[in-house]
Amino acid sequence: MVKKITQKSRTSSKIHSILITGGSGSIGKVLLPKLIDHYKIYALGRKVKNFPKDICLNKNFHFIECDYQNVKHISIHEKIDCVIHLGGQVAGKSISFEDYKKSNLDFTKILLEFAKLKSVKKFIFSSSVSVYGKNKKEKITEDSKLEGISDYAISKILAENILLENKKVPVTIFRIGSVYGENNKSFINKLIHLMKKRIIPFLNYGRNSKNFIYIGDLVEYFLLEIKKDRKSNIIFNIVNPEKVEYPNLIRLIQKNLSGSVYLKIPISKFLLQTVSNFNRIAFFFKLTKTKYVIDLSPLTGSQEISATKAIQEYRYSPKVQIEEGIDRLLNQNIKSSS
């Protein structure tokens, strides 16, 4: 019997092999298991041991050792259909702009040249809503002005510009909101870490808000984009349209944590920024035992991001709202500590 090939299956079968960066990171660890049985995966990274054992043993997995900051070119003889670029320096690190530039801009240039050489069908770039900057009064769309001023945001803006100027490889840019979920180092995860110590950074000004996205919903957007047939460059904001105010976020976390005695520390914008800078310095000089910077600077700004374009394009609206996401996250923390 001859199997009828539908338009949907044609689109799905176009991508057979994927080159991924950042595959061992917070997003990659959730995305890779969804890809590994359906595509040949070529993963760039520093150490293969950073990837889960079951991924490494899969016949579709191929590891290529690569230091993003020092690589000059990428050489892979096999055919590559799609590049998913998750790798690079993340926000909140105590590093110089030059380090951000090497990982987030220079490495992106090298990947793009490789993609052109291999006639890649699709290049998916993981950017950030931080490129827009803070304290926007109007709802932010993909056409809003880019006013990010942090070293991280600037490195992402410059990388986006390089990709969008190219006309040879179709580029899809995901400007991703604040991601949270299991085994993540997001703002929400760090806030929970702080509140477990019975400390609440309590803002004594305004009702700052922002859009988050649960890791599972974010990964779904990547899976849907892989199956899209692109002919030109396009940008999407990837966030949950639910706007979350900081006081409500605190209440949701507090409600799900056992115990009720908290030290509420009223914080001004100036003090918040000072504390964040101190955390970075302490982390840099290894004066703290934490594995990451507890960066509270996201609390100093407010954003409302439009998710309409992505929801309409993919016909997918994020399923996990903030209350359910925090509940899942705290339950996962309980399981891992028991």
140, 306 contact by CB (below 8 A): yes
User: CB burial class (10 A; 0-12, 13-18, 19+) of residue 73?
Assistant: exposed
Give the whole-angstrom CA distance, residue 133 versus residue 221: 23
Backbone angles phi, psi at 224, to 5 degrees: -70, -40
In sequence order, which residues have a C-beta less than 8 Å from that of residue 26 and are 6 or more positions away? 179, 181, 183, 184, 185, 186, 215
pLDDT at 230: 95
Q: How far apart are the first and last CA of the chain?
A: 53
CA distances in angstroms from 190 to 173, 193, 291, 297, 327, listed in the order given: 26, 5, 11, 12, 15
CATH of domain 7-177+213-239+305-318: 3.40.50.720
CA distances in angstroms from 327 to 197, 254, 257, listed in the order given: 18, 11, 10
Domain boundaries, the chain: 7-177+213-239+305-318
Query: Position of tokens 């899969």?
Result: 58
Give the whole-angstrom CA distance, residue 200 versus residue 246: 11
CA 12-16-19 angle, to 5 degrees, is: 120
pLDDT at 185: 74
Structure tokens at 24: 């061992």
- Residues of the chain short of pLDDT 70, as ranges, are 1-13, 92-94, 135, 201-207, 258-301, 333-338
CA 91-337-50 angle, to 5 degrees, is: 50
In sequence order, which residues have a C-beta less than 8 Å from that of residue 34 and are 6 or more positions away? 219, 223
| β-strand pairing of 209-214 with 178-180 | parallel
CA 272 to chain centre: 24
pLDDT at 123: 98
Phi and psi based region of residue 92 (left: phi greater than 0; alpha: psi -120 to 50; beta: remaining): left
13, 39 contact by CB (below 8 A): no
Handedness of CA 329, 132, 142, 160 (dihedral sign): negative
Give the whole-angstrom CA distance, residue 246 versus residue 178: 13
Write the single-letter amino acid at 270: F
Instruction: For residue range 5-36, list pLDDT tens digits in order.
Output: 343 433 344 899 999 999 999 999 999 999 99
pLDDT at 13: 45
Q: What is the pTM of this model?
A: 0.85
